[in-house]
Amino acid sequence: MQPNIPNKAFCAGIFLFLMMAFSSEFSHAQFKAVIQIGMNGSSFRGGNLENTSPIVRFGGGAALRYEYPSGFEFEAGVNYVTKGSGLEGKYQEIPIEGTSEITYIEVPILIGYRFRQTSRFSPRIVAGPAMAFKTDAQIRFNAVGSNIEQQEDDLTVEDKDLGIVLGADVNAKFGSEILNFGIRTTFGYSNARTAKPEIFNTSVSMMMGIVF
């Protein structure tokens, strides 16, 4: 994989977002903002990993949506997420267990479609690229059966991580408020590590928020 592919793919997503946002229908679009919080479960895939387990951490963020009468939507957001995985292996023939945690500021650029609204509910589907920028990476580990844990900075993590987002959610009216409930899966597309074999992040987020 060429190292500049993630950047090109993400830039293409931004270009498409801007082209559609400023299309001829722009004057008819409704602007909506959403703030969300929830849980993010993640794990690694690929590489030569044999025993991994998911980790679950809090996350949240905000987004701006452009809603068109046709049902199409375009969304740009900023999220705080933690990705990584539980790990098991051996070091010098000693069984080791640990946890890799990588915190990111994630910027998704999504295209969505809003289905016909029922009395209170408006379901949506979304898809698109998301570029995550690393803010911190830690790895904790200990010998199996030992309570002595070590923690250190993980210097093998790439500064950026490109993912492909697929999701579904629903806007629900409660009185004068519009709440949002959704689930999104992000499949890592670029190597999360600086070395090979390649390891990819995979995460599932369950969020709830309020739409303004």
Q: In CATH, what number is assigned to the domain containing residue 103? A: 2.40.160.20
pLDDT (tens digit, 9 = 90+) per residue, 104-151?
A: 999 999 999 999 877 789 999 999 999 999 999 999 999 888 888 899
Distance, C-alpha 196 to centroid of its chain = 23
Distance CA 149, CA 151 (A): 7
Query: Do 104 and 135 form a contact (C-beta atoms < 8 A)?
Result: yes
Q: Round the average pLDDT of the chain to a whole number and report it.
A: 88
Give me the DSSP letters along 145-186. Answer: T----EEEE-TTB-SEEEEEEEEEEEEEEETTEEEEEEEEEE
All residue ranges of the chain with pLDDT < 70 are: 1-29, 91
pLDDT at 15: 62
Q: Which domain holds residue 65?
A: 5-23+31-211
HSE at residue 116, side-chain half, CA atoms within 13 A, is 0
pLDDT at 17: 58
pLDDT at 23: 55
Residue that the structure tokens 């029922």 belong to:
118
pLDDT at 5: 54
Which residues have CB under 8 Å from 75's CB, separation 6+? Answer: 63, 64, 65, 66, 108, 109, 110, 111, 112, 126, 128
Our count of domains for the chain comes to 1
Measured CA to CA in angstroms, residue 54 lies from 1, 9, 100 at distances of 26, 27, 10
Q: Which amino acid is at 184?
A: R
pLDDT at 44: 96
Give the global pTM: 0.85
pLDDT at 1: 45
CA 75-81-86 angle, to 5 degrees, is 140
Q: Which helix (H) or strand (E) holds 207?
A: strand 199-211
Distance CA 185, CA 52 (A): 18
